[in-house]
Amino acid sequence: MKLALGCIADDYTGASDLANTLTRAGLRTVQTIGVPSEELDLPDVDAVVVSLKSRSIEAGLAVSRSRAADKWLRGRGADHVLFKICSTFDSTDAGNIGPVMDALRADSGDTIVLVTPAFPETGRTVYQGNLFVGSVPLNESPLKDHPLNPMHDSNLVRVLARQSKTEVGLVGLATVVRGPEAVRARLADLSDKGVGAAIVDAVFDRDLETIGEVALDQRLSVGASGIGLGLARALVAAGKAKAGASSALSESPVGGPAACLAGSCSQATLQQIANAETDMAVLHLDPEQIVAGKGEVRRALGWAAQRITEGPILIASSSTPDQVAALQSRHGRDAAGHAIEQAMADVAEGLVQSGVRRLVIAGGETSGAVVDRLGIPGFLVGAEIAAGVPVLRAVGAKEGEMVLALKSGNFGGPRFFSDALDLMR
Ligand code: ADP
């Protein structure tokens, strides 16, 4: 099997978003957690998105991890690799977008790289090289106060030039709307002048389609899920990926007992837990007991063992904002959060050891802790349960076949847990 597209994402959530975008565009897509081992047995897929945690780490480390991911993807036949960054160009003058782009470009042999974080469906557009978040320029958006990477300049030609060794040019919207040939000509012109990267304007999806088509001539591109969409559509149009094949792969049922775990305390999740009471057995953990020791995890697993054969269960640590604030003031925010995340990972591990093969997890950090603990190398992305929340089928898991749903707190409709289980056969 030869990959039509390889992607390296600089954080997990961005990787999921991209994998979901590619799947919706018709590519059979696997998302991996970190750079997979050489032995990973991939199903027959069009695209792999390698998730790294390299957005805000030291630039040298981000470069070496990204190069390792690139090598793995090229080794699986990927002719084109997308370095997936945040659609808000989340980075500092020290990197990591520039240094990683420079290194991957050198490895790819490309003379010039197309760069665009535009993703119009989420309000990210680029015009004259300036990134807009909704109706305001980046430097007037909430990103100007980002705790790790505050963005004070919306001109990406300047931003990228400050963190890259190469000169950066612009392919303006007036060129993009004239189509792929005009973009190719502009790139050739820039490249002849020694420019090694070009910010490309995009305001509508059709601009991304043009960019995707041109990017496929090259070995490397840099951007957010928007350019992923453009690349996917270009691959489908060129007959290099079969649109519509994405769902068939994840359809064969896994079966086995099902459990839901909730660590998110968001309003949406609290409502979803309340609604689940009519559909499944629900256990509310005592957060104070979790922080105190392992007894609460044992209690949860004992409770689950008595019910799991009769139908799905839900175990929640979640509590109301007042209760969360009280717990945090007693134990410290990070210590309380960490203890609860690890307890949820303990519960997930215990459930899987006892045979659970269908797991729904509510909460971003909670999902991360559970996935790390289960040591699942990757997921095949399936049908969407709710916007941005697909069914995930484990790839290369030591437990064998498993399906999961991982959602951030605010995602999903009021009956999310039942909706998820309906699709997770
Ligand atoms: P979300 O996606 O809603 O942000 P996360 O799982 O990312 O959810 O974050 C929720 C955080 O709150 C986690 O660190 C979790 O361990 C912690 N937590 C869960 N239950 C409680 C609780 N009852 N009191 C305090 N913190 C909690």
Per-residue pLDDT tens over the stretch 322-367: 999 999 999 999 999 999 999 999 999 999 999 999 999 999 889 9
Structure tokens at 62: 């981000």
216 located within any domain: yes
Q: Which has more confidence, 63 or 364?
A: 63
Cβ burial 247-257 (10 Å sphere, 16+ → b, else e): eebbeeebebb
Shared domain check, 167 and 63 = yes
In a domain, 220, yes or no: yes
**Domain CATH code at residue 284:** 3.40.980.20
Q: Considering the domain boundaries, does residue 251 fall inside one?
A: no
Q: Report the pLDDT value the prediction gives residue 377, as an integer from 0 to 100.
A: 94
CB contact set of 103 (below 8 Å; sequence gap of 6+): 63, 66, 67
Distance from Cα 318 to the centre of ligand 1, integer Å:
7
Give domain status of residue 252, yes or no: no
In a domain, 115, yes or no: yes
Spacing, Cα 308 to ligand 1 middle (Å): 24
What's the pLDDT at 304? 98
**277 and 375 together in one domain:** yes
Quick: pLDDT tens for 203-222.
999 999 999 999 999 999 99
Decide whether any atom of ligand 1 lies within 6 Å of the 368 Cβ.
no
Residue 246 has pLDDT above 60, yes or no: no
User: Given this model, what pLDDT does residue 86 score?
Assistant: 92
Best residue among 333, 366, 416 to mutate for probing ligand 1's pocket (most ligand atoms within 8 Å of CB) is 366
372 and 307 share a domain? yes
Domain count for the chain: 2
pLDDT tens digits, 2-46: 999 999 999 988 999 999 999 999 999 999 999 999 999 998 899
| Ligand 1 pocket residue status of 296, Cβ below 6 Å | no
Q: Are 419 and 385 within 8 A, CB to CB? A: yes
Mean pLDDT computed over 110-124: 96
Task: Report the nearest atom of ligand 1 relative to the CA of 344.
Answer: 16
Q: Cα(73)–Cα(83) distance, rounded to whole angstroms?
A: 12
Relative orientation angle of helices 295-307 and 333-353, to the nearest 10 degrees: 40
The last residue of a domain, from among 237, 267, 292: 237
Looking at residue 249, what is its pLDDT?
Answer: 52
Residue with the two structure tokens 């470009």 = 105
**pLDDT confidence of residue 242:** 72
Task: Judge if the upstream peptide bond of residue 96 is cis by omega within 30 degrees of 0.
Answer: yes
> Among 237, 272, 298, which residue terminates a domain?
237
Co-location of 264 and 163 in the same domain? no
Do 46 and 100 sit in the same domain of this protein? yes
Residue nearest to ligand 1 atom 25, measured at CA: 324
The fraction of the chain above a pLDDT of 90, given in percent, is 85
pLDDT at residue 251 greater than cutoff 70:
no
Question: Looking at residue 381, what is its pLDDT?
Answer: 94
> What is the CA 377 to chain-centroid distance, rounded?
14
Specify the pLDDT at position 148.
77
What's the half-sphere exposure (Cβ side, CA atoms, 13 Å) at 384? 17
| CATH number, domain with residue 136 | 3.40.50.10840
- Indicate whether 244 belongs to any domain: no
Residue range 107-127: mean pLDDT, rounded: 97
Residues 188, 134, single domain; the answer is yes
Residues 227 and 286 in one domain: no
Same domain, 163 and 300: no
> Mean pLDDT across the chain, nearest whole number?
94
pLDDT higher than threshold 60 for residue 105: yes
**Residue 179, pLDDT above cutoff 70:** yes
- Domain extent, residue 177, equals 5-237
The reply to whether ligand 1 has any atom less than 6 angstroms from the CB of 412 is no
Mean pLDDT for the stretch of residues 296-310: 96
Residues 297 and 228 grouped into a single domain:
no
The verdict on 380 and 264 lying in the same domain is yes
Number of other CB atoms surrounding residue 15 within 10 Å: 23
Q: What is the pLDDT of residue 250?
A: 57
The verdict on residue 132 lying in a domain is yes
Whole-number pLDDT of residue 248: 52
What is the value of pTM for the model shown?
0.90
Residue 410 has pLDDT above 90, yes or no: no
Last residue of a domain, one of 208, 237, 266: 237
Task: Tell me the CA–centroid distance for residue 319 and ligand 1, in Å.
Answer: 9
Residue 147 lies in a domain: yes
Claim to verify: residue 228 and residue 368 sit in the same structural domain = no
Between 96-105, 117-126, 310-319, 386-395, the lowest mean confidence (pLDDT) is in: 386-395
Tell whether 129 and 212 lie within a shared domain.
yes
Are 81 and 70 contacting, i.e. CB atoms less than 8 angstroms apart? yes
